[in-house]
Structures are given as structure tokens and as C-alpha cells.
Structure 1
Amino acid sequence: MPIQPPPTLIIRPAIIKRVIDLCKKVFTKNTSKNNQTSSHATTLDQPIELSRDQHPVSRQLISQSALKVLYRLNKSGFDAYLVGGGVRDILLGLKPKDFDIATNATPDEIKGLFRNCRLIGRRFRLAHIVFGREIIEVATFRGHHDEQGTQDKKTSKQSEHGMLLRDNIYGSIEEDAQRRDFTINALYYSSKDFKVLDFANGVSDVNNKIIRLIGDPETRYREDPVRMLRAIRFATKLDMQMAPETSKPIKDLSPLMANIPAARMFEEFLKMFISGKAVANYHQLRKYNLFGYFFPAVDQKLPTLNLAQKSEPGGDDLLERFIIQAMTNTDKRINNEQRVTPAFLFAAMLWYPLQNYIKQINLHNQMSPQDAFFAALSEVMPEQQRSIAIPKRFQGVMKDIWILQEKLVRREGKKAFKTFEHPKFRAGYDFLLLRSEIETDNDQLAELAKWWTDFQNVSQDAQLQMVRGIKSAPNSRRRTPRKRRKPAPSTAAK
């Protein structure tokens, strides 16, 4: 029997077009995915999994509140991980202060599971779950931005400088790891199988004490310029070194900090200067031209830095020594677990700019010391508020500290006892000690500081004797009131 030839395959043009379109779609998708991967070159295709016996992270070291959140999310069918600083600090042998959680549940789904939950944030929505004074922050896995700009502008928006203004794009855990800032923060701990997932060789960088950005550093800094501050803060806090590619762009990109809102700069001030590492952070901020975005009036008067990052002659050396000593004292108090107020450091930072304004006012106007002070205050504070939004509760304490410097000089009669009873006397006295410690050539200031130190350590009778020994200032004597003249008789009454 003869072999029949195969039937002729007829391919219609419509089918060919559909196949071509499908191929284009698939290859475009793969190319986009490859581009995303290349832009995040420090992340791994598959995470390194550390089993329970390969890492020190234990539930005993994790907050019970954080565990409750992890358990409930897992029980409800969601993936949930302890992420970032909590895992990193345990690996370093430190006691974690924050326990952040990442999950594939959306903010609304999280809120539906926890009655004690409140949603915050406009740039990126977060869930804060409140357990008394403890707050557990829960974030939904972040996704990648659509480079072609086809995503809804309600969920994603960037400024002309590349800064993310809105970032509510959700994705997978792999995408979330790529969106994190540093490799040491791309670490995830699961309470289900007790594994640590390392997406960016973060464990290696933890062991080698290296701060390394995930992705292209310039792009990541443009997305959020505060990352430059975070890189410095993590390096000083954890006693690590920044990788060269992470530190290199900071000085050139420092002008991006001008776009950060003053309210956010206040939060960053607390993290940089009220954390026990103020002096170290100050030197790094100066090195990378970032300090001026916190205190522009102070930065203009500081000595310039040479190539070796050392202060050169010129500028106000007294000002720099004063603020460094104030930061040193603050660091000591924090590390000794003593109370501090940001108002004291703000008062120290702006003390000499305030005095310079007072001198300028006195050169051109004949004002009383009190009027000159308030005139200078009205210049200094609004200027500073444009950089850091200092809350009013701290502004009041700053003003009290400054006013007390004048009151501490006036000790005759009952004035010393009234000053001693002032609610902010201790802060004002500490500020006086700081001034006397730096202004070593001012003998009157040293004598005044010693007098108030002795005054606090003697009996009330001895305090009276000390006050009696104070000579009244020439302008402090009471003037006898003038006798009122009798009014002239009214002509209308006649």
C-alpha cells in the first residue's frame, strides 16, 4: 500500500499574528524582569536559608507582642516574617529595640485582624499594632515600580528629582527584599519553620561589619535622600564601615536633602543626636556635607574641613568646641541611662548664633537686654524652623534655658532663691557649667558657675550668707518713686 503524503498544514494569518503577539509579550516581560534583576545586583535569585541550628535568632529574644502578631497572621493564612533590625541586632549579639514585621497581607487585611491596629503613612501605608507602650510595625511586601509609568498614580508617584512621594505598590517577598535599603536589613525570620532567609548576602556583611546599599546607590539615594543619613547612622551605631560604592555618591548628592520636609528632619535629628552617638554622627555629617541641612546658621560659622577631614584655622572654633562638648555630655547621659531632653542640645546648637544676632541688634539699636533678646529670638527660631520643625514644647524649654543665663547672674536679694526655684533651673545650671567649661578665659563665668554649685550644696543659712555677700549691681538699686504732681485745676469747672 502506497504511503500517503502528510496533509498540507494551512496556517492562517490571524493565527500567525496571535503567535507573534504572544512571543512579544513573553520576551518583553522576561527582558523587563532581567532589567529589574540587574538593577538590584546585590540580591540573590534564591535566598540563602539558615536553619534553626545555623543562627542565634530565637523566640526567647523576640518580643511577645511581635510573636502574637506573627502567629495571628500565619494562622489567618498569610506569610509573615520578623525583618530588618530585629534580626540583624540578634545576629550581632545586641538587644533589639524594634521588632518590625513584613507580610503579604495588605494594610486593610491587617487592620481587619487586629482591633488594636491603626494605619499610618501617606508615602507608604503601614500598620501600627499597639500593645500598651509597645508598637509593632507591620508592612506589606513592597513591589517594583513600573518603569514605563503605567501604574496608578494613586499608588506610586515620584518627584522630578527621583524621590518617592508615594510608594503603595505591593509585591512578593523577593521584591520586598530588593526594595530594602541595606543588605543587613534584607534578613527575614519565620516563626513557622524558624529559618532565616538572606536575600542579599546580609549575613556575610553583618559578619564583616559592612554597610552596603542594595541596588544602584545613586538611584536609591534619589528615591529617598534620608538613606544617606541612615547609612551614616548604621555605620556609627553598629561600629561598621560603609562600602566604597555606598559612601562615594553621598557628598555629591547631599543637596537632595534640601527636599526633605522639616518635620521629618526633626525625627532624623532625634535618631542622629539623641541616640548616644551624637559626636560620631556629627563628624560624619560634616565629612559628607550633610550637617548644614540640620543647622544652616551653625554650619556657616564652623571651621572648614581640609582633604584630611580636619578643621582648618578660621571659622568659629569656640562654637565647634561648644557644640561638641554639648553632644559629648548628651552621649554620656544616654549611655548611662540618664534622662535627656532634645531642647538642651537645640539650645546649645543655637546659643552662639543667638548671641551674634543680639550683638548685631545692639550695634544698630539702643534696646534693653530683654528687648534685644526677644528681637534676636524672632530671627533665629523661624530660620531654624525651616530646616527642623522643633515642637513648641521644646521651644519653650530652650527659651527658659537661655533666659536663665541672665537670671543666674542676678543673685542679690531674693533673686537667687527665685531663680533656684525655677522649674528649669537644673537645665539652666547645666548650660552655665557647659559655657564655663568651654569659655576658659572668662573668669567671671567660672566664678559664677562655682558660686551656684556651692549654693546647691550648703544649708539655707549658708545660702543666706552667700547672697548677702553679693554686691548689688549698679543698675539694680531701686529708684524712689517720683511724687505725682497734683493735676492742674480744670478750666471747664470754673
Structure 2
Amino acid sequence: MRQLDLNIDVDKVTVVPREQHNISRKEISPSALKVLYRLNDAGFQAFLVGGGVRDILLGGHPKDFDISTNATPEEVRELFRNSRVIGRRFKIVHVRFGREIIEVTTFRAHHEIETEVSEGESRKHIKHLDSAHSSTGMILRDNVYGNIAEDAVRRDFTVNALYYTTNHFMILDFVNGLPDIEQRLIRMIGDPETRYREDPVRILRAIRLAAKLNFGIEKNTEEPIPRLATLLDSISSARLFDETVKLFTNGSAEKTFALLRHYKVADYLFQPTLECLQDDNDVDSKLLTLALRNTDNRLAEGKSVTPAFLYAALLWPPLQYDIRQMCGDKVPTLGQLQECAGEVIVEQLQFTAIPKRFTAMMREIWELQLRLSPRNRRSVEIAYTHPRFRAAYDFLLLREAAGEQLNGLGDWWTQFQQVDADAQHVMIDALQPAKSPRKKRRRKPRKPESAD
């Protein structure tokens, strides 16, 4: 049987030569190329794999590049002084070039799980073989190494299992990922239900990829998602926070949230919010939609976004609900707003962790919505010099754009930032009603002192 010079059985892989694909080294990070070449020069196999390959094939310009190799993490660490091994359940190597990190993983293979005890074989041995999985099928440890073909079928989706090598600049496809890219489909490798049970976060990845790439989800990959979404309860809230940030910072936050709701997955991430979104046309629902759309626009313009602003918008509907329950139609006091904010955040923490630095910023954005009502010079100066003024101002504009009646408050602050200091003084003075002149009190004449 013919073999490639990479010692790969050609009957198990589709090989795309250089002249038949559009991947160029110009589109690959120089740092990633350094890692590929050094591993090859040391006698190891090394491939660019995953999103970097997929996105270049789709005409994109990826910023993150992952490398897969037959070198163990310890061997990679010896080759690169600027690297470190991280993780225990799934060991990987981060090779750092300034601010850029190239992630290097060793080829993995599936764990062998025996479900029956053969004659003469001890149950203790079977328990040892199966200890890499939980009782629900979730992978607990994943450091079983294999070859590139085994590594390909162990990956999650076919579009993420394409390998590019600088050895003759070929693409290797073991799982028919190229046809799925052409058909714009997200397809799970292997049995979808089994793979979701191995790692329920794959449910979120399927939705994130479908939204980001504007792909459909293949029917067998799609069917178990609503049914198995409850498995997300077994994932740590800290990991779910990281995954939600990825969901909403991929450039398709608005579409991602719509898919999360469509597949009933949002129930396990943002249940307090969903309970308050009964009508998509109400002000709170519109504000959330506008916030997600604003996030997509900022990322498209190369601007930064912060999870604090995203979560401030996501939790605004339950915050407003609690405020209405407490205050009715009255404007809440600062103390009442702070009390409701604390309760809403605590409730959300049951689903996704939120680091304290972000919850503190969320509280400030919310509290400034009260402080942005200009009353006098002092109130304006306190709000305008606050470190979170810009974020709070942007949030205020979203409230107005969603249809909330704020008596032109956004326009006032917009104008205030555009004029010079003298004009700002005039605007502040106009806030205070003119004082009526004080009447002079007439003093009563002193009584003459008595002779005594």
C-alpha cells in the first residue's frame, strides 16, 4: 500500500496538494511557522490544525493558530524555552512570542472503555480502563496519545479537523471536513450524543460556530442539543463564564443569543434573564438586542468589548423587574438599586461565575444610570469624572434607543461632551432655576437704655 512520506496511510485520508487549495504561508502567523519548522527540524510531525485552517479556507484572516504534533508536551517544552506546559486533564503547551501564544497539543487517541468483563479478567482492571470517564460519559482525563489519524477522529467537528503541513504544503482531511466546509455545515465527528456527553461544552461550540460562520448544523448533530442541554449543569460555573464570553465576542453575539434561545440552551446560562423576556418588543428586550448588536459592531471596527458591559445588559431585564417589584413606578433610590443589583448578581452566579472585577464594574454602570440625571454642578462633575462614565453613557444611549423615555438625557450628555468648558458651565447653570433676590430685613430700632 502506498505511503506518504509522513507515514500516513493514503487510503484513510484525503490529501489536497498545494495547487488545489488557497492556504498560503502569508496568512499564517510567523510565530506559528517557527513552531512548525522547529518541530519538523527536530524530527517530529507538526501540523496547523483547527480554526486557523478552516478560516483561511473560508477566505478569513485568523489571529489564533493551533498546532498538533506527535511530540509529547515534555518534548515540546525542551525545544522551546519560551513555553510552559499547562493543564492536567488535558496537557497542552503554550509557546509565547511576546503577546502571542501558539498552542501546541500532542496527537490524542480515544480512551478504550470496556462495558463487559471478559472471562478471567478482573473488575478492578475494567474500572481502571473506564476511570477516564464519569458515570454520564464525560471525559475526566485526556492524555492518551496516538497518531494523526486517531487525533482527527477525536476532534469535535469535521470543519475543525483539517491539518495543514509545511511538508509539501498539503492539507490532510481524515473526516470529510472539506465537503462540509463547501456545504457550510457543522457536523459532529462520531455519534453526536456520545460526544456531547463526553464534553457538554461542545453544545455551546456547535452554536458558536454556526453563528460565527453562518453555517447550518447537520440534523444528527442538531437533534440532541435541546435534549442534552441539561448536561451543562455539570459544568463548573467558572468554565461556563469563559464559554459565554467566547459566545458573545465572536462577532455574532446577536445571532448567537437567538440560537441559544432557539435550542433551549440559554435556559441553563441566563435563566433569570429569559424569565423577564416575555415580549421581544418591550424596552428591556430591545435594549439587550441592541447591546449585542453594538458588541458585534465594535468588534467589526476593531474596538474592544468588556464582559462587564455585556453582563450589565444581559442582567438589566431582571434588575428592572426587581426594581419595579420594590418601587413600583417610582425612581429607585441609590440604596434600593444597590440592593436589587446584589440580588440579581447572586442569582446569576448560580449559572455562570462572574469575576468580582466585572461585577464591580456592572454595579457602577447601573448606579451611574441614576447619577447621570444632572441636577446641579456637583452632580454633573461626579458623574462626568467617574471612571465608568463612558460605559454608563453608552448604556444610557442604548436605553433611549430601545424606546425608554428619558426626557432627552442622552442628547444632553452628548452635547455636554462636544462643547468647550465655557459652554459646559452655561449648560450646568441652566439646570438650576434662577434664585429670587433676597429681601433685606429691616432691623428694629434699639430701645433707648434706661437711666438706671
Once residues 84 and 58 of structure 1 are traced to their aligned partners in structure 2, the CA distance between those partners, rounded to angstroms, is 16
Match of 1:461, as an amino acid? Answer: D
Q: Which of 325, 330, 341 is matched with 1:377 structurally?
A: 341
Counterparts of 1:87 and 1:198, CA distance in 2: 11
Q: Which of 12, 15, 32 is the equivalent residue of 1:49?
A: 15
What SS does the aligned partner of 1:445 have?
coil
> Residue in 1 aligned with 2:5?
none
- Aligned partner of 2:44 in structure 1 is 78
Q: Secondary structure at the match of 1:165?
A: coil
**Structure 1 position 131, deviation (Å):** 0.7
Aligned length: 415
2: CA distance, partners of 1:395 / 1:327: 18
For 2:416, give the aligned amino acid. F
Q: Does residue 231 in structure 1 map to residue 195 in structure 2?
A: no
Residue identity matched to 1:222: R
Distance in 2 of aligned mates of 1:315 and 1:242:
25
Matched, 1:455 2:416: yes
Q: 2:408 is aligned with what amino acid? A: E
Q: 1:322 to 1:95 in 2, by over 3 A?
A: same
Whole-Å separation in 2 of the counterparts to 1:242 and 1:406: 44
> Using a 3 Å threshold, how does the CA distance of structure 1 residues 296 and 319 change in structure 2: closer, same or farther?
same
Kept in 1, the 8 Å contact 2:163–2:173? The answer is yes
Out of 95, 98, 105, the residue aligned to residue 71 of structure 2 is 105
CA distance in 2, matches of 1:152, 1:108: 28
* 1:400 lines up with 2:361 in the alignment: no
* Structure 1 residue aligned with 2:250: 275
* Structure 1 unaligned blocks of 5 or more: 1-43, 304-313, 478-494
| Deviations 1:361-392 (CA, angstroms, capped at 9, x unpaired) | 458xxx98232222222211122122222122
Q: Which amino acid aligns with 1:133?
A: R
| 1:256 paired to 2:231 | yes
What SS is found at the alignment partner of 1:158?
Answer: coil
> For 1:135, what is the secondary structure of its paired residue?
strand
Equivalent residue, structure 2, for 1:427: 391
Structure 1 position 471, deviation (Å): 4.2
Identify the match of residue 143 of structure 2 among 168, 181, 185: 168
Equivalent residues in 2 for 1:82-231 (5 A)?
A: 82-148=48-114, 150=125, 157-231=132-206
Q: Which has the larger radius of gyration?
A: 1
**Cα distance, 1:137 vs structure 2:** 0.5
SS at match of 1:285: helix
Partner of 1:341: 306
Deviation (angstroms), 1:341: 1.7
Rounded Cα–Cα distance in structure 1 between residues aligned with 2:131 and 2:37: 31
Which whole-Å CA distance do the structure 2 matches of 1:246 and 1:424 have between them? 43
Work out the CA distance in 1 between the residues paired with 2:26 and 2:189.
30
- Among 464, 482, 488, the residue aligned to 2:425: 464
- 1:272 Cα deviation from its structure 2 partner: 1.1
Relative to structure 1, the CA distance from residue 283 to residue 70 in structure 2 (aligned partners, 3 Å threshold; closer, same or farther) is same
Listed one character per residue, the Cα deviations across residues 320-339 of structure 1 (whole Å, up to 9, x for unaligned) are 21200111111111111122
Q: Counterparts of 1:407-426 in structure 2 under 5 Å?
A: 407-426=371-390
Contact 2:109–2:144 (Cα < 8 Å) also in 1: yes
SS of match in other structure, 2:140: strand
Distance 1:106 1:345 in 2: 39
Aligned to 1:357: 322
> How far apart, in 2, do the equivalents of 1:152 and 1:190 lie?
39
The answer for the alignment partner of 1:26 in structure 2 is none
- Residue type of the alignment partner of 1:49: V
Secondary structure, counterpart of 1:205 in structure 2:
helix
| Structure 2 match to 1:317 | 282
Conserved 8 A contact 1:155-1:169? no
What amino acid maps onto 2:371 in structure 1? K
Matches of 1:320 and 1:418 in 2, distance apart?
30
- Distance between the aligned counterparts of 2:416 and 2:51, measured in 1? 47
Percent same amino acid at aligned positions?
A: 50
8 A Cα contact 1:404 1:428, kept in partner: yes
Query: What amino acid is the match of 2:148?
Result: I
C-alpha contact 1:155 1:167 (8 A) present in aligned 2: no
Q: Which residue of 2 aligns with 1:390?
A: 354
Contact 1:397/1:424 (CA < 8 Å) preserved in 2?
yes
Normalising by structure 2, report the TM-score: 0.86
Provide, for residues 3-59 of structure 1, a one-character-per-residue CA deviation record: whole Å limited to 9, x for no partner: xxxxxxxxxxxxxxxxxxxxxxxxxxxxxxxxxxxxxxxxx9610111122222222
In terms of mean alpha carbon deviation, does 154-163 or 89-98 score higher?
Answer: 154-163
- Secondary structure at 2:108 match in 1: coil
CA contact (8 A) 2:111 2:132 kept: no
Give the corresponding residue for 2:442. none
CA distance in 1, matches of 2:12, 2:177: 13
CA RMSD for the aligned pairs? Answer: 2.4
Residue deviations 1:79-111, cap 9 Å, x none? Answer: 111111111112111112211111111111111
Residue 310 (structure 1) aligns with: none
- Mapped partners of 1:45, 1:256: distance in 2: 37
**Letter of the 1:106 counterpart:** T
Q: 2:449 corresponds to which residue?
A: none
The answer to whether the 8 A contact 1:65-1:136 is kept is yes
Deviation at 1:202, TM superposition (A): 0.9
Amino acid paired to 2:422: D
Could you give the per-residue CA deviations for residues 200-244 of structure 1, whole angstroms, max 9, x where no partner exists?
111111112111111001101111111111111111211211111
Structure 1's 99 and 408: CA in aligned 2 closer, same or farther, altered over 3 A?
A: same
Could you state the TM-score of these two structures normalised by the residue count of structure 1?
Answer: 0.79
- Partners of 1:278 and 1:45 in 2: how far apart? 41
- Provide runs of 4+ in structure 1 moved above 4 Å: 149-156
Q: Give the superposition deviation at 1:352.
A: 2.6
TM superposition shift of 1:277: 0.4
In structure 1, distance between residues paired with 2:281 and 2:419: 38
Contact in 2 for aligned 1:84/1:184 (Cα 8 Å): yes
AA of the residue aligned to 2:380: A
CA distance 1:65–1:155, change in 2 (3 Å): farther
Q: Distance in 1 between matches of 2:128 and 2:325?
A: 50
Partner SS state of residue 363, structure 2: helix
SS in 2 for 1:129: strand
